[in-house]
Amino acid sequence: MPDLNFHIKASPGLEPLDLSQGIMVLQTDLEGRFVYANRAYLQYMGLQALPIGASALEHTDPRDVPTVIEVVHRALENPHQTFWVEFSKPTRKPWNRSRWEFMAVLDAHGKPVGVQCIGFDISDAYRRARFQEASLELLASGLKETLSPEEVLQRALEAALTVVPVAQAGSATLLQPDGCFRFVAAKGYDLEALQKVYLHPREPLSPSQHIQARVFTQIDIARFNQQLDPERRAIIEGPGRASSIQAMLATPVVVKGVARAYLYLDHFERPDAFDELDLRHLEGLAHHVAWLLYGNELRNEVQYSRQHDPQTGLLNLYGLRTTLALLSLAPRALLALHCRSLERVRRLEGEATWLAVIRSLAEAMQAELRSTDHLAFDRGIFWLALEGVDNPTTTQAVLTRLQVRVREQLAARWQQLDFSPRVGVAFAQPGSTPLELPQAAEIALEQAQPGQVRFYDPALVKSTLEDDWLHQALGQALQPLKSGGAPSGFCLHYQPIRSLEDRRVQSLEALLRWQHPERGPISPALFLPIAEEEGWMVELGGWVLAEAVSSAAQWGLPIAVNLSGRQLEPGLPGRIAALLQRHGLSPQNLILEVTEQVALNETSLSVLYQLAQQGHSLYLDDFGSGFSSLERITSLPLSAIKLGQGFVKNLGPNPRADTSEARLMRAVQAIGHGLRLKVIVEGIETEAQYRFLLAEGFSLGQGYLLGRPAAIESSEQLQAMRRGDA
């Protein structure tokens, strides 16, 4: 290494600068040899005394020497300027770093005679910055990707080895359903061998025996190994290298008060390798891992609730479609079974008896099906996906076996029950989707009589004129909109949103109704998709907005209106603003609701943001019934989320606080509050549900118990709705 001319000979009358014990000060001559260093520098370098005449570069990490030389030359070439540089000292201990200001020292003639260096230790700042970076990377990966607990711990271990670089190896264990911890990640070890070892929470020095990050010595580790059986001890001391570990830094990952996992970092050379900052950083990572594991649990609960019928535990139709989408293209039959006598049981003998019968039927069917088949229950219909079945003969044989088995099971308790279901069957066709197969089976079911099996045929669709009639009738009813008139047979009903604390009306939701002169009331679930599909929703939605704003002006109550995807076009904010101005109302009088599917459409986002900037409250309707992620929802300008009716339905008519459904409600409430959104609960139908929600801290609700949708044509009707009489 060439000599570096960057130290300074002491000039006559020049006193070295020594600001404080925390600031390091040193001076060198032009040959780079020490002239002076204060106590802070000596302590930082671990020196008892200054090695006068020695080169300062000997105390610089060789990798940083070129940079230091360059900065010294710049300081000497520009004697009236200061230059900053960062470098490390040559030591085995990682994360040492200092920052320095270099300045040339001049004699009385202005000639450089050395360099003065003022610096401070930034090692801990570097470590904290790297911890923050690793933490953000870990959390971001958990939000952007759907990671299993094992994958979370694998990434956490990688992050831990980055922020605690003194660690030379590491591993992670995860609590398993059998109550034991097993290794799921390792670095520097044979993971396949370690996976054969289980650690019981009650064993000495077991991971659960400490609640904070802690360093264990070789003595601790040896004592623990002596308590293990020979087989596990051989693995821990062999592939696990336990006998060589001099220091082990371990921390628990605690989720809802229970240790769910452990992170271990090992050092093989010194028992004092880990310092206090290492402990705090590993604890910090453990907190992030706990958050990700909890989010994983919550996501699984939400996913399970979305895909399963809450009363039977079977897949629902959405879950069945999801399952079918994951299967390869193969011969498959889908059966839809509906038994009207079950509805009579429900009506005459009550919910509990009906549920017992449903579960008994499910048990009987499940026992007759193969492991490759799938059973689902949704809207009173059993769905059976039979793998490898592609013809009516085999299907009939399966149905015969099922019917015999079911009748045998029912005979013991419900002899009076006549199990003669209507059955619709559809076979998977080349190119068909998981959505089309259930639709085909349901079309066949609609054509079947009790005790009859109907197989899907495209002719069934062609022979069904109902859909064509509905399109035609709706088009005729909406024809007056083209000339500025009101649609024929349409009106708005209003349902209150009430404060759960005092049941006062906070706002009204406008709900569109259609009364056909011949067919009577037609469900919005039938005509709204057609209006959306045919492009009629812009005109129809405009009429709804005008009616709602007019009502809000008369009654002095905010009114919520649902917006469809087609309405969210660039001109909508301007039209709404003009409508409000015409009636002398502010944007606060008109609440706008959108579904998850509509809100998360990229083309709708700019319109939603403009509406929010105008002052409208935006509600996310039927939260939890779509497919959005929390990450996407947080990007929306929302004021409230409305929990879909399924949440309260899953609670049952008499909710209990200790059920998974109740815990799910609390979790979703916490999400809403965490996002600073109001949470409105839909579908409240019983006093028991109302009392439960009130006790759990929910503040706003909607449902038949609090007021059914109704037309309001007079002030008396409005006052009745305010009182809760309507």
| CATH number of domain containing 284 | 3.30.450.40
Claim to verify: residue 295 and residue 442 sit in the same structural domain: no
Judged against a pLDDT cut of 50, whether residue 8 lies above it is answered with no
497 in the same domain as 455: no
- Taking residues 676-683, what's their average pLDDT? 94
Whether pLDDT at 5 is above 60: no
Strand partners of residue 32: none
Q: Are residues 457 and 524 in the same domain?
A: no
Whether residue 663 sits in one domain with residue 526 = yes
Task: Specify the pLDDT at position 209.
Answer: 59
SS3 state at 310:
coil
Q: Which of 118-132, 203-217, 611-625 is least confident? A: 203-217
Q: Which of 409, 430, 463 is the last residue of a domain?
A: 463
| Together in a domain, 116 and 134 | no
Is pLDDT at 397 greater than 80 in this prediction?
yes
- Amino acid in position 367: A
> Residue 568: what pLDDT?
87
Q: Above pLDDT 70, what percent of the chain? A: 91
pLDDT of 21: 46
| Tokens standing for residue 533 | 């599909």
- Residue 497 and residue 459 in one domain: no
pLDDT at 530: 83
Closest CA to 701 of 494, 497, 493: 497
pTM for the full model? 0.48
Helix (H) or strand (E) holding 255: strand 247-255
232: Cβ contacts below 8 Å, ≥ 6 apart: 197, 198
- Taking Cα atoms as reference points, which of 693, 642, 679 lies closest to residue 495? 642
pLDDT tens-digit map of 398-456: 999 988 888 887 777 766 666 778 899 999 887 777 778 898 998 888 778 778 899 98
Residues 583 and 635 in one domain: yes
Read off the pLDDT of each residue in 490-501 and give the average, rounded to a whole number. 95
Task: State yes or no: pLDDT of 616 exceeds 90.
Answer: yes
pLDDT digits (tens, 9 = 90+) for 81-109: 999 999 988 876 667 889 999 999 999 89
Give the pLDDT score at 82: 94
What is the tally of structural domains in the chain? 4
Q: Is the confidence at residue 671, as pLDDT, over 60?
A: yes
Where a domain ends, among 79, 105, 121?
Answer: 121
**Are residues 380 and 280 part of one domain?**
no
Does the pLDDT at position 1 exceed 50?
no
Domain-located, residue 647:
yes
**Lowest mean per-residue pLDDT among 229-243, 450-464, 649-663:** 450-464
Q: Tell me what pLDDT residue 690 has.
A: 95
pLDDT at residue 563 is higher than 90: yes
Report CA 82 to chain centroid distance, whole Å: 50
Choose one of 304, 339, 373: the last residue of a domain. Answer: 304
**For the chain, percent of residues with pLDDT exceeding 90:** 51
Instruction: Kindly report, residue by residue over 303-323, the tens digit of the pLDDT.
Output: 888 899 988 889 999 999 988
Q: Are 425 and 413 in contact (CB under 8 A)?
A: no
Distance, CA of 55 to CA of 35 (rounded, Å): 10
pLDDT of 448: 82
Same domain, 631 and 679: yes
**Given a cut of 60, is residue 54 above it in pLDDT?**
yes
pLDDT at 189 over 70: yes
Task: Write down the pLDDT at residue 203.
Answer: 66
Same domain, 109 and 162: no
Domain that holds residue 139: 126-304
